[in-house]
Structure 1
Amino acid sequence: MDDMTRTKLSADTILDHAAALITAGEPLTFSTLARALGSRSQALYNYYPNQAALTDALCARNLHWLVPRLQKALFGLSGRAALTQLALTCRTSGLAHFRLTQFTLAHVHQDNAPATAGAMTDLRTLINQLIQSTPADAATQIVGERMLRNLIVGEIFNVGTGWFDDPAMSAEESFRQMVDQCLAPLFPEQ
Structure 2
Amino acid sequence: MIIEGVTLTAKTLSKEKIIIAASDLLAQDQTVTATKLGKILQTRPQAIYNYFSDINAIKIAVAIKFFQNLAIRLEADLREESGLAAIRIFANTVVHYSLDNRQLWKLTMTLDLKNGDQALIISLDQLSDILWKILSSLIASEFERLGVSRLIRDLIIGEITQSNNGYLDNKKMSQHDSFDLAMKIVLSHLDEQNN
TM over 0.5: yes
CA-to-aligned-CA distance 1:64-95 (integer Å, 9 cap, x gap): 01101001111111110000000000011000
State the distance in 2 between where 1:119 and 1:108 align. 14
Structure 2 CA distance for partners of 1:31 and 1:111, relative to 1, 3 Å: farther
Show the 5 A alignment for 1:169-180. 169-180=173-184
Structure 2 CA distance for partners of 1:110 and 1:39, relative to 1, 3 Å: farther
Query: Identity, % of aligned pairs?
Result: 26
After the TM superposition, list the runs of 4 or more consecutive aligned residues in structure 1 that deviate by more than 6 angstroms. none
State the distance in 2 between where 1:75 and 1:146 align. 23
**1:6–1:43: 8 Å Cα contact kept in structure 2?**
no
State the distance in 2 between where 1:149 and 1:70 align. 15
**2:59–2:107: 8 Å Cα contact kept in structure 1?**
no
State the distance in 1 between where 2:17 and 2:165 align. 29
1:152 is aligned to 2:156 = yes
Instruction: Select 1:95's aligned residue among 84, 94, 99.
Output: 99
State the distance in 2 between where 1:136 and 1:184 align. 17
**Structure with more relative contact order (C-alpha pairs < 8 Å, separation 6 or more):** 1
State the distance in 1 between where 2:145 and 2:174 align. 28
3-state SS of 1:107 partner: coil
CA-to-aligned-CA distance 1:124-166 (integer Å, 9 cap, x gap): 1111111121146333322211110011111111112211011
Show the 5 A alignment for 1:18-167. 18-107=22-111, 109=113, 111-135=115-139, 137-167=141-171
State the distance in 2 between where 1:176 and 1:138 align. 26
- Unaligned segments of structure 1, at least 5 residues: none
Structure 2 CA distance for partners of 1:114 and 1:137, relative to 1, 3 Å: closer
State the distance in 2 between where 1:184 and 1:144 align. 13
Q: What is the number of residues matched between the two proteins?
A: 186
Q: Structure 2 length as normaliser, TM-score?
A: 0.87
State the distance in 2 between where 1:50 and 1:169 align. 44
- Unaligned segments of structure 2, at least 5 residues: 1-8
Deviates more, 1:8-17 or 1:79-88: 8-17
3-state SS of 2:67 partner: helix
